[in-house]
């Protein structure tokens, strides 16, 4: 992924967050990835780490229309995914016709053969081991994540073995921010 593409994605996300009243903390930790697949518009994600504590973390994400975060799960992390603006579609990979989930704090059986679509303000709780992928069905979605401690290096398990959590970066211009993956 080119640094210029990363810089552009950060600026676009900053504009979207500002448009919807999301004030970022000073010096937030940015994370931009194409999951190592080389096509950010098709398969990518912009995240801002708002809180990174031993017990919990909070992220704000910007997802573009039809931009996929590929099928994955976490062995340790339990997460609430909250659609803050737009429409976010989440698909699950399970061996049953339905998946039992907490949606908007109520337990529900969600059909596994079609995506769960969250509108602004709606949330779903994902438990460790639940395979999921997501994308925006609106022009973009602003998405929050509140979860148990986050370990992006060793607690992301992707269904497609070609997927990597962090991108290889081609330095074609100076970075506008330091990314989580920049070390």
The DSSP annotation for the chain comes to: -BHHHHHHHHHHHHHHHHHTT-PPPSS-EEEEE-TTSS-TTTB-EEEEEEEE-SSEEEEEEEEEBT-BEEEEE-SS--EEEEEEESEEEEEEE-SSSEEEEEETTEEEEEETTS-EEEETT-EEEE-TT-EEEEEESSSEEEEEEEEE---TTTS-EESSTT--SS---B-SS--SS-BGGG-
| Tens-place pLDDT, residues 100-155 | 999 999 999 999 999 999 999 999 999 999 999 999 999 999 999 999 987 777 78
Look at residue 157 in the predicted model and tell me its pLDDT.
87
Look at residue 136 in the predicted model and tell me its pLDDT.
98
Give pTM, 2 decimals. 0.94
Does 156 have pLDDT greater than 90?
A: no
- The domain spans of the chain are 3-170
> What is the percentage of the chain residues whose pLDDT exceeds 70?
100
Look at residue 87 in the predicted model and tell me its pLDDT.
98
Select the CATH number that applies to the domain covering 3-170 from these four: 2.60.120.10, 3.20.20.80, 1.10.8.100, 2.130.10.10.
2.60.120.10
Look at residue 9 in the predicted model and tell me its pLDDT.
98
pLDDT band (50, 70, 90) for residue 161: confident
Q: What are phi and psi of 69, to 5 degrees?
A: -100, 115
Does 20 have pLDDT greater than 90?
A: yes
Look at residue 131 in the predicted model and tell me its pLDDT.
96
Look at residue 68 in the predicted model and tell me its pLDDT.
97
Order the strands of the 79-85 sheet from edge to edge.
Answer: 29-33, 45-52, 56-64, 140-148, 79-85, 123-126, 98-103, 106-111
């Amino acid at each position: 992924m080119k640094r210029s593409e990363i810089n552009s994605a950060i600026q676009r996300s900053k504009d979207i967050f500002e448009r919807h009243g999301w004030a970022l903390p000073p010096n937030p930790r940015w994370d931009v990835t194409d999951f190592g697949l080389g096509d950010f518009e098709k398969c990518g994600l912009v995240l801002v780490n708002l809180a990174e504590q031993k017990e919990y973390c909070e992220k704000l994400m910007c997802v573009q229309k039809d931009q996929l975060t590929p099928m994955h799960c976490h062995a340790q992390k339990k997460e609430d995914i909250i659609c803050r603006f737009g429409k976010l579609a989440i698909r699950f990979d399970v061996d049953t016709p339905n998946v039992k989930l907490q949606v908007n704090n109520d337990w529900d059986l969600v059909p596994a053969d079609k995506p769960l679509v969250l509108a602004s303000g709606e949330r779903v709780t994902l438990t460790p081991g639940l395979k999921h992928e997501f994308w925006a069905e609106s022009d973009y979605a602003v998405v929050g994540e509140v979860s148990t401690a986050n370990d992006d290096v060793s607690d992301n398990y992707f269904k497609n073995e070609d997927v990597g959590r962090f991108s290889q970066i081609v330095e074609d211009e100076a970075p506008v921010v330091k990314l989580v993956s920049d070390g």
